[in-house]
Amino acid sequence: MFEYAPAPESRAVVELKPSYGLFIDGEFVDPLDGGSFTSINPATEEVLSEVAEAGPDDVDRAVRAARRAYAEVWGPMPGRDRAKYLFRIARIIQERSRELAVLESLDNGKPIRESRDVDLPLVAAHFFYHAGWADKLAYAGLGPNPRPLGVAGQVIPWNFPLLMLAWKIAPALATGNTVVLKPAETTPLTALRFAEICQQADLPPGVVNIVTGAGKTGQAVVEHPDVDKVAFTGSTEVGRQIARAVAGTRKKLTLELGGKAANIVFEDAPLDQAVEGIINGIFFNQGHVCCAGSRLLVQESVYDEVLAALKRRMARLRVGDPLDKNTDVGAINSAAQLARIRELSEAGTAEGAERWSPPCDLPDRGFWFAPTIFTGVSQSHRIAREEIFGPVLSVLTFRTPAEAVEKANNTPYGLSAGIWTEKGSRILWLADRLRAGVVWANTFNRFDPTSPFGGYKESGYGREGGRHGLEAYLDV
Amino acid sequence: MSERVAVRKTYKLFIGGKFPRSESGRSYPVQNTNVSLASRKDVRDAVQAARAAVAGWSGATAYNRGQVLYRVAEMLEGRRDQFVGLGVPTVEVDEAIDRWVWYAGWADKIAQVYGNANPVAGPYFNLSAPEPTGVVGVVAPAEPALLGLVSVVAPTIVTGNTVVVLVAETAPLPAVTLAEVLATSDLPGGVVNLLTGRPAETAPWLAGHMDVNALDLTGVTDPGFAAELERAAAGNLKRVLRPPAGPVDWYADPGLGRMTAFLETKTVWHPKGI
Amino acid sequence: MLARMTATAASARSDLTEVARSEATLRSFLHGLPGVDQVGAEQRAAMLATRSIKTTAKAWAIDLAIRMVDLTTLEGADTPGKVRALAAKARRPDPADPSCPAVAAVCVYPRLVPVAAEALRGSGIHLASVATAFPSGQAPLEVRLADTRAAVAAGADEIDMVINRGAFLAGRYLEVFEEIVAVKAACGDAHLKVILETGELVTYDNVRRASWLAMLAGADFIKTSTGKVPVAATLPVTLVMLEAVRDFRDATGRQVGVKPAGGIRTAKDAIRYLVLVNETAGEDWLHPDRFRFGASSLLNDLLMQRTRLRTGVYSGPDYFTLD
């Protein structure tokens, strides 16, 4: 047996303070009402830091700082100068990428291999890409004189804490807006580290403000009357509430919400790569991915072999310490999320689907869930309809391309989809018919700052990334 | 010789390419004419018709959609006098015809202008292209009755959406006459559905309908009502085009906004290898 | 869809004896194998290359890698003296450390087999020879068969043959198949390693098809390269071949070995290959009977890293013999 010895990434690159304040107007400040919460390492339940909780008055302070910075500094600043700040931030992120990757894995539970090889490179790339837009907005095809909106209130999730921050802040700043951002309550630490990077970059005070807290803080950001733009990534249910809250206001809204993507495997697929794509589609980031390929649709003629290959491959997944460089699947982000995954998985069993996980030793402490597949799933099962947001795959079958399209689209969501076949014309036929904002053909879960991302239907509206993503932050 | 007794026209709804009366049997008088007063069930039927038309219309080639819109302009040109007879100013009729022509030309260009290739950092083909959102509910502006209506319908359907239009209560006659133009323009039934009556009564049903993908509130003048409709639209996260913030110059260059408001961007990835 | 069935892990073993009944059946079988997406395969190999193998696992892997080395010299300038030195090195790779294992085999040209056989006698180290007009294979079949028989007669117990790439690329699969069958027969009891020369096959689809073709024809090992063309062994090519042997065993029950050769120079490289084996074909292939490295300079780097692990300090080339 080739047992890999533990290969832990060193924690020494991350120095954590016992407590963090709010980042408002270029400074770390204490919250006005003194509230705080702790952020823990979900792999060990160890407390990492105490973090300030922003109340409505703190949010108001942050919005006022952002407004002032917008009116006096960032709005009037020439695009080429804004660009230089963003380039500077991108470079600092590259220089401090190991530290940020380790901290991300500590706070989020994701494997260091992913935070190191996926999250952080994309974060830096996102700032680089948008930096270049700052002085070229008139050429973006969005009208001759696109104007910033003003103050952007942004609320981001816990699954890709720093990457979602980059998706929000980079385009907002490039287009001349200032920002009040609320990171998720279970993963605030890399956002606070980003605040330090803003200081290191000498970004003018107030351009970026970071207010930590939970749902109430987010609500205060979204509902603040002096916010011009709201951008949210998270659950469809909260997205709905936000859409209601901004109804009748002038606020421009973009939402990136849930998904229940179909990953469709045809009999003529490149099977080994398809299996990798299925694995990556659902077990990447513990399945805490809005565009996860959580519904596998397999053509019946290859069902047995795909399933056998998938199980064999799942048995190779290394679940455990997120900081071990060989870990493939890390910790579930929180006790609450673990409870939801368990609840839906139990519903899967109760509704008659067959559950399977490879033999897998899970640590005693922390939040863990073994990679799991359900077979014998039908469209009516909860595990085929509801977003589980965990390492749980529902396997369904189809016989014809038309049936695959019908099943794939039979959901209120429409974020992403996967197609596996070596027949080019079938890919294009299918891609035209899938109601999803991102279609990955013979690949899955690929991201790039130049490539717009966002959903159809209840997966939200607006795009992030690419030329299209600029529109969300411009008055065009 | 006695004066000829004119044959009057019955002004009805336009649903699925047909001209039914309101299922409620209700009507209301406008310019000495009884106009159908649409009900929530007419909204339901119209949404059903619009949904049924999505696959065919969005699946038609852009060239084909452009020709159909141009055909609408041709038919409208031939009926200029009818609209003038209803009190629509000549200049407005002319502009309405020209607007159809303008949007007809966009059918096979919008994807080129609003879509693009993305140079991702890896061996992938990556293309973003616009697609229609689906069924769009429209509250049409009351003024200008014809040009306003054309200016909200044409940009929405040219990209492949289908629409359920709530015509302003005060201006139904040009709308129903436009429906007759549409019905003779090779436009597939159900692509445009026009409901006359009281949007104040029907709009909430349209805004809350879970099989409607987007909502255009251009014709809503009461901010409170617009907010209520927007809240209802959040039920299934409809894309909402809010009422204009100020007066609109309907004769100005319309820009792309009314098309892009009801477009989704789809991005397709594929590896490049041997 | 016979190929489909064979590529499964299904318990039902397929009868593949009829596959090579005709050019048509063989062609339809090989073309029915699942395609390989180049980008996806290379990504998988690259991801596995990020595995971090440390301490005890590294020590274990280095010793295993040494035991898998086919210590090779295939130069026009080879002499009996050179071969004897190589054999000595094969027996005791690290004279300073008797705990260091011997390599798997020594690999030489047929003319030098008698010398090597003499030098390796009693060591348990296999003696491989590149027969069949290595490296081009461009000699009449009878010449190649005679080459093989001579090498076996002189004491080689492993034959590394090259396939006829020209015929393969021209789609004359049956011709390639029959040549392998003939060489296999000429081998007698000697094990046959079939060199696909993947650098000349170019696509992974071709690598998969050639792998199956060789296995169907009776190969005991499939081997990437001669080392004589610019592109030799790579991780993704080896990945595709490991998938092939894995699927072939699922289909037939017969376990075929894999030998990447050429360009593998460092212990780090070798460990990456072992990770690839471990996570693709599985531990059944983590054995010198099932996986080999065709290499010459690799051994010294394995020895240096082995010493580094043992002593805790970095070593240098002066401390290892250059044979």
Question: Which helix or strand (DSSP H or E) is residue B116 part of?
Answer: strand B116-117
- C321 domain-assigned: no
- For residue A114, what pLDDT is reported? 98
Does A269 lie in the same domain as A219? no
What is the residue-wise DSSP string for A224-269? Answer: -TT--EEEEES-HHHHHHHHHHHTTSS-EEEEE-----EEEE-TTS
Mean pLDDT of B222-243: 98
Does A123 lie in the same domain as A69? yes
Cis previous bond, B132, omega within 30: no
Range of the domain at A245: 11-257+456-475
Does the structure show a pLDDT above 80 at C323? no
- For residue C166, what pLDDT is reported? 94
Of C39, C202, C203, the CB nearest to B271: C39
Mean pLDDT of B183-187: 97
Q: Cβ–Cβ of C286/A2 closer than 8 Å?
A: yes
- C285 domain-assigned: yes
Task: Return d(Cα A228, Cα A151) in angstroms, integer.
Answer: 5
Helices (H), chain B: 40-59, 62-78, 80-85, 90-106, 110-114, 145-158, 172-183, 199-208, 223-233, 257-260
What is the residue-wise DSSP string for B215-263? Answer: EE-TT---HHHHHHHHHHHGGGT-EEEPPPSS---TTS---SHHHHTTE
- A450 domain-assigned: no
Does the structure show a pLDDT above 50 at C176? yes
* Three-state secondary-structure class, residue B130: strand
- For residue A185, what pLDDT is reported? 98
- For residue B2, what pLDDT is reported? 80
Supply the mean pLDDT for chain A.
97
- For residue C17, what pLDDT is reported? 84
Task: Return d(Cα B13, Cα A313) in angstroms, integer.
Answer: 59
pLDDT in tens, B186-212: 999 999 999 999 999 999 999 999 999
Q: Do B193 and B14 contact (CB within 8 A), yes or no? A: yes
Nearest CA in chain B to C205: B274
Task: Return d(Cα B115, Cα B128) in angstroms, integer.
Answer: 5
Domain count, chain C: 1
Does A59 lie in the same domain as A40? yes
Nearest Cα neighbor of B103 from B138, B135, B62 is B62
Does the structure show a pLDDT above 70 at A138? yes
Does the structure show a pLDDT above 60 at A148? yes
* Three-state secondary-structure class, residue C290: coil
Task: Return d(Cα A246, Cα A225) in angstroms, integer.
Answer: 10
**A393: which strand partners?**
A373
pLDDT in tens, A321-331: 999 999 999 99
> Annotated catalytic, C157?
no
Here the CATH number for the domain that contains residue A101 is 3.40.605.10
Does A468 lie in the same domain as A389? no
Task: Say if A460 is an interface residue toward chain B (CB within 8 Å).
Answer: yes
Identity of the residue numbered B233: A
Here the CATH number for the domain that contains residue C48 is 3.20.20.70
Contacts of C37 in chain B (CB under 8 A): 271, 273
- Copy the structure tokens of residue B238: 């409809």
Q: What is the distance in angstroms between the Cα of A7 and the nearest Cα belonging to chain C? A: 6
pLDDT in tens, A377-412: 999 999 999 999 999 999 999 999 999 999 999 999
Task: Return d(Cα A427, Cα A433) in angstroms, integer.
Answer: 10
Residue C41: how many CB atoms within 10 A of its CB? 25
Nearest CA in chain C to A305: C8
Nearest CA in chain A to B220: A248
Task: Give the right CATH number for B27-271 from 3.40.630.30, 2.60.40.730, 3.40.50.150, 3.40.605.10.
Answer: 3.40.605.10
- Copy the structure tokens of residue C96: 């300073």
Does A82 lie in the same domain as A226? yes
Does A463 lie in the same domain as A357? no
Does the structure show a pLDDT above 60 at C207? yes
**B28: which strand partners?**
B35
- A154 domain-assigned: yes
Give percent of chain C above pLDDT 90. Answer: 90
- Copy the structure tokens of residue B89: 């100013």
Q: Cβ–Cβ of A441/B268 closer than 8 Å?
A: yes
Task: Say if A424 is an interface residue toward chain C (CB within 8 Å).
Answer: no
- C286 domain-assigned: yes
Does the structure show a pLDDT above 90 at C7? no
Contacts of B270 in chain C (CB under 8 A): none
- For residue C14, what pLDDT is reported? 67
Confidence class for position C13, pLDDT limits 50, 70, 90: low
Exactly one of C58, C89, C184, C259 is catalytic; which is it?
C259
Range of the domain at C260: 42-311
- C318 domain-assigned: no
Confidence class for position C1, pLDDT limits 50, 70, 90: very low
- For residue C6, what pLDDT is reported? 44
The ipTM (two decimal places) reads 0.97
Does the structure show a pLDDT above 80 at C131? yes
Q: What is the distance in angstroms between the Cα of C208 and the nearest Cα belonging to chain A? A: 12
Domain count, chain A: 2
Higher-pLDDT residue of C3 and C107 is C107
Confidence class for position C3, pLDDT limits 50, 70, 90: very low
Mean pLDDT of C115-130: 97
Task: Return d(Cα A173, Cα A179) in angstroms, integer.
Answer: 8
- A412 domain-assigned: yes
pLDDT in tens, C227-238: 999 999 999 999
Q: Cβ–Cβ of C10/A316 closer than 8 Å?
A: no
What is the residue-wise DSSP string for A337-354? Answer: HHHHHHHHHHHHHHTTPE
Mean pLDDT of C95-119: 96
Here the CATH number for the domain that contains residue A414 is 3.40.309.10
Q: Cβ–Cβ of C39/B274 closer than 8 Å?
A: no
> Annotated catalytic, C259?
yes
- C307 domain-assigned: yes
Does A129 lie in the same domain as A32? yes
- For residue B71, what pLDDT is reported? 98
Best mutation target, C47, C52, C212, C250, to test chain A (most A CBs within 10 A) = C52
DSSP strands (E only) in C65-141: 69-72, 105-108, 126-130
Task: Say if C47 is an interface residue toward chain B (CB within 8 Å).
Answer: no
Task: Say if B35 is an interface residue toward chain A (CB within 8 Å).
Answer: no
Of A5, A270, A443, the CB nearest to C36: A270
- For residue C12, what pLDDT is reported? 46
Supply the mean pLDDT for chain B.
97
> Annotated catalytic, A360?
no
- Copy the structure tokens of residue B162: 């289908």
- C303 domain-assigned: yes
Does the structure show a pLDDT above 70 at C2? no
- C279 domain-assigned: yes
Task: Return d(Cα B18, Cα B7) in angstroms, integer.
Answer: 20
Question: Which helix or strand (DSSP H or E) is residue C57 part of?
Answer: helix C55-67
Confidence class for position A52, pLDDT limits 50, 70, 90: very high
- A270 domain-assigned: yes
User: Residues with Cβ < 8 Å from A343, sequence gap 6 or more?
Assistant: none
- For residue C321, what pLDDT is reported? 85
Does A116 lie in the same domain as A49? yes
Exactly one of C70, C94, C147, C160 is catalytic; which is it?
C160
- Copy the structure tokens of residue A89: 């931030």
- For residue C8, what pLDDT is reported? 45
**A256: which strand partners?**
A233, A460
- A2 domain-assigned: no
- For residue B31, what pLDDT is reported? 87
Mean pLDDT of A200-214: 98
| Angle at CA of residue B195, ends B191 and B197, nearest 5° | 170
Mean pLDDT of C133-145: 93
Instruction: Indicate whether this model's pTM tops 0.80.
Output: yes
Task: Return d(Cα B13, Cα B35) in angstroms, integer.
Answer: 8
Does the structure show a pLDDT above 70 at C30? yes
Does the structure show a pLDDT above 90 at A119? yes
Q: Do A125 and A94 contact (CB within 8 A), yes or no? A: no
- C316 domain-assigned: no
Q: What is the distance in angstroms between the Cα of A332 and the nearest Cα belonging to chain B? A: 29
Of C4, C52, C243, the CB nearest to A326: C52
Neighbors of chain B by Cβ distance (3+ pairs < 8 Å): A, C
